[in-house]
Amino acid sequence: MSDVNSAIDAVWRIESAKVIASLARITGDVGLAEDLAQDALLAALERWPESGIPDNPGAWLMATAKHRAIDMHRRSKLLERKHELLGHELADRQELSVSDLETALDDDIGDDLLRLMFTSCHPVLSTEARVALTLRLLGGLTTDEIARAFLVPEPTVAQRIVRAKRTLSEARVPFEVPRGSDRDERLSSVLGVIYLIFNEGYSATAGDDWMRPALCEDALRLGRILAELAPNEAEVHGLVALMEIQASRLRARTGPKGEPILLLEQDRGRWDQLLIRRGLTALARGEQLGGERGPYVLQAAIAACHARARTAEETDWERIVALYDALAELTPSPIVELNRAVAVSMAYGPATALELVEPLQSEPALKNYHLLPSVRADLLMKLKRFVEAKSEFERAASMTRNSQERALLLERARTCELENQRENKHVGSN
Amino acid sequence: MRFMVMVKATKDSEAGMLPDQKLLADMGKYNEELVKAGVMLAGEGLQPSSKGARVRFSGSKRTVIDGPFSETKELVAGFWLFQCKSLAEAIEWVKRCPNPMPTESEIEIRQVFESEDFGAEFTPELREQERRLGEQMARNAASRQ
């Protein structure tokens, strides 16, 4: 790729969301807005290699897209007039003059970006569609980049985006920041999409690499942007704090051969102190806003307990259990219960924890969740019930789709077998 | 990926001259834009080198040299840490920065190493060594506090 092309790419990544957001407000149609912005990008790719990159490339892209929008508006006006002559009724669309369009483009961009986030994560869309649209419209990723990040063929992602844009248009989803009771639910959808992107990078559900840090960076960036767009939402800061603190461990989470290293075995000297500090600051920002602590603030507070402990032994497990209690009360789920059980085992011993895990065995939601047998195996191992532990590790290994994680689980199963043999020998020699 | 973005010193900055109100306001606006875009991880301004020092290494010998230092253009007057998708993106962001000095000035962009960057040179043995060093540092840090 030439220097100019990579510079155009960079400009696009910086400017595209703003251009799309502005156009979406004017046209009221996110899909159309993206098409117009893409037209402007094509124009830049055509012109900039010869003319050089303009001093203010963002303004250039915006102006070009704006002209396309005005042209299109004029054409549709013309069309409407013809229709009128033919006796057709005017479409019930919003009336806009060209000067409206021009002033609209100069308004503050922040609200538009926030609208774009809410629209891309609208509940009318499937989760996959929300993820793809958010990365594309707000993260500035290409279809190809999204496809590679999620290990799906490019046409699948392209299809998802086309369909998502059509769905938004057909459902006449308004381009707005929802208010009132709707707002909380819609915000939690936005947060959910960003965290899902982060998690896909943090512990890939499929493939050979356990982590894809670039996706974590994309999610973090979206979260940081959102925190500035909606600074009064405690949960936004909670999510950012959670992601910053989790990302601080990225370097410590894999060994020399790419194998996963569990939290308590990680070398804390490799944790990224800059991200930890940013995470703790974001958490404080969220907590300062007051109100009842939401699920992201609570999860961030749990992550912060680990971040603050200089060694694994110093972890304040009792506090973590209390935070999980609050989380379980707020958002009861078998997965929260499972995590709570892990904290309980650290604070009050594996036997107490195992009692909490047993009822989860019949949870349909955890039927295919490899961490259930994995946690259970870990507790059984600590209780020296090696035979049961071994078969649970093997069951967990057969359930994960990630090859690195499978290798780790199988190794732990082997350890159980060795421990068991040693124990038997020991008994035999007595 | 991360980039260290360094504002190079000038005669004025080395003389301890502070930016005027307009530059401060412009810089504030620029910083705000960086934060809003989720690009800026950290950033600080540095005092003139007259308030700093150097430690020169020669074999096992260490010599402390007090500032100021003469090669003004090579000195750093301030820095940011950016999180960007590419060097090109970091360049685009830096181009948007107001001239950080009242005179001609320069900003240098350097990519921060990530452990993956060491590639084949960074053998499992070296990684292991780095891991042990990290452990030691954590222990030292723990014992100091």
Query: Chain A 266-295, CB below 8 Å of chain B: which residues?
Result: 267-270, 274, 278
Confirm or reject contact between A10 and chain B (CB < 8 A): yes
Alpha carbon distance A283, A244 (integer Å):
10
Query: Is residue A99 pLDDT above 60, yes or no?
Result: no
Q: Is A72 left (phi over 0), alpha (psi -120 to 50) or beta?
A: alpha
Query: Is residue A162 within 8 Å of A156, Cβ to Cβ?
Result: no
Cβ–Cβ below 8 Å for A310 and B138: yes
Alpha carbon distance A249, A267 (integer Å):
9
**Residue B115 — pLDDT band, cuts 50, 70, 90?**
low
Distance of alpha carbon B65 from the chain centroid: 21
Cβ–Cβ below 8 Å for B134 and A256: no
Query: Is residue A256 pLDDT above 90, yes or no?
Result: no
Query: Could you identify the residue written with the tokens 């259970």?
Result: A376
**Out of B42, B85, B115, whose CB is closest to A13?**
B85
Cβ–Cβ below 8 Å for A256 and B127: yes
Measured in angstroms, the CA of B65 and the nearest CA of chain A are apart by 30
Q: Which of A80-84, A101-105, A194-198, A214-218 has the lowest mean pLDDT?
A: A101-105
**Residue A92 — pLDDT band, cuts 50, 70, 90?**
very low
Distance of alpha carbon A205 from the chain centroid: 13
**Out of A11, A110, A270, whose CB is closest to B134?**
A270
User: CB under 8 Å to A383, separation ≥6 — which residues?
Assistant: A350, A351, A354
Max Cα–Cα distance, chain B, nearest Å: 53
Alpha carbon distance A151, B45 (integer Å):
43
pLDDT top residue among A260 and A240: A240
Other C-beta atoms lying within 10 Å of the C-beta of residue A174: 13
pLDDT of B38-82, one tens digit each?
Answer: 999 999 999 999 999 999 999 999 999 998 999 888 999 999 999
Cβ–Cβ below 8 Å for B83 and A221: yes
Report residue A348 as tokens.
């009050």
pLDDT at A213: 83
Backbone angles phi, psi at A369, to 5 degrees: -95, 110
What integer best gives the mean pLDDT of chain A?
A: 88
Query: Is residue A419 pLDDT above 80, yes or no?
Result: yes
The identity of residue A407, as a single letter, is A
Query: Is residue A386 pLDDT above 60, yes or no?
Result: yes
Contacts of B99 in chain A (CB under 8 A): none
Alpha carbon distance A128, A161 (integer Å):
9
Cβ–Cβ below 8 Å for A220 and B137: no
pLDDT at A114: 95
Helix (H) or strand (E) holding B14: helix B11-14
Cβ–Cβ below 8 Å for B42 and A268: no
Nearest chain A residue (CA) to B93: A14
Nearest chain B residue (CA) to A227: B36
Counted residue by residue, chain A has a size of 430
**Out of B86, B89, B134, whose CB is closest to A269?**
B134
Query: Is residue B119 pLDDT above 60, yes or no?
Result: no
Cβ–Cβ below 8 Å for A14 and B92: yes
Average pLDDT over residues A303-330: 95
Confirm or reject contact between A311 and chain B (CB < 8 A): yes
**Out of A11, A225, A256, whose CB is closest to B38?**
A225
Report residue A270 as tokens.
């490799």
Comparing CA positions, the residue from A231, A390, A202 lying closest to residue A376 is A390
**Out of A10, A14, A256, whose CB is closest to B128?**
A256
